[in-house]
Amino acid sequence: MSNRTQENIAAVLLLVVFVAIGIMSLDYSPRARLMPLAISIVSTVLIIAQLIVQNSKANDVDLAIDTMELFGATGLKKEGRRKADEEAAKTLEKEVIKGTKESTAIGILLGLFAMIYVFGYVITIPVFITLYFRLFNKSPWLRSIITGIGATAVLYFFFSVLLQISLYPGLIGKMF
């Protein structure tokens, strides 16, 4: 089975799941169906776009995104960047012990859950996103802080204001 066929099967299965979720959510009350319907509509549109792009006849279009160029780091030429990436990958392969990536990811998730349990969402989300962008994406502090605060504002507005769902305050928040 070709790679494209596998991608098409996965995309169609996801499309069926999200369409089914959207149809099932129509039986809910207006407030209860808001989230599943919104998620299913957006996901359905994105999956259809993905199917169109990956099955289009114009296969010569390069859809790869250069994140360094996207975020303004255009000082390196593409060839130099590719060589630097290859050298970094070889060095990383030598240094990484098997299972280190998985244990790091599990540790990050456990830390996130512990922070949410103790501090609640309103404190955890900006701290977690800021630290993630700073430590793992190597973004500057200002961009990391703005991203963390912006994501928190969007989540707070969406859940607390629009949906009128109170966010979990955490153990410390319950004390006050």
Predicted local confidence at residue 163, as pLDDT: 82
Query: What does pLDDT average to over the chain?
Result: 82
Predicted local confidence at residue 139, as pLDDT: 86
94 phi/psi in degrees, rounded to 5: -70, -35
Q: What is the DSSP letter of 97?
A: P
Predicted local confidence at residue 81, as pLDDT: 57
Write the pLDDT tens digit of every residue in 114-142: 999 999 988 999 999 999 899 888 889 99
Predicted local confidence at residue 167, as pLDDT: 84
Instruction: Name residues whose C-beta falls within 8 Å of residue 37's C-beta, 6 or more positions apart in sequence.
Output: 22, 25, 26
Instruction: Name residues whose C-beta falls within 8 Å of residue 151's C-beta, 6 or more positions apart in sequence.
Output: 125, 126, 129
Write the pLDDT tens digit of every residue in 73-101: 555 455 555 666 666 666 655 555 556 77
Residue that has been written with the tokens 């994406």 in this structure: 137
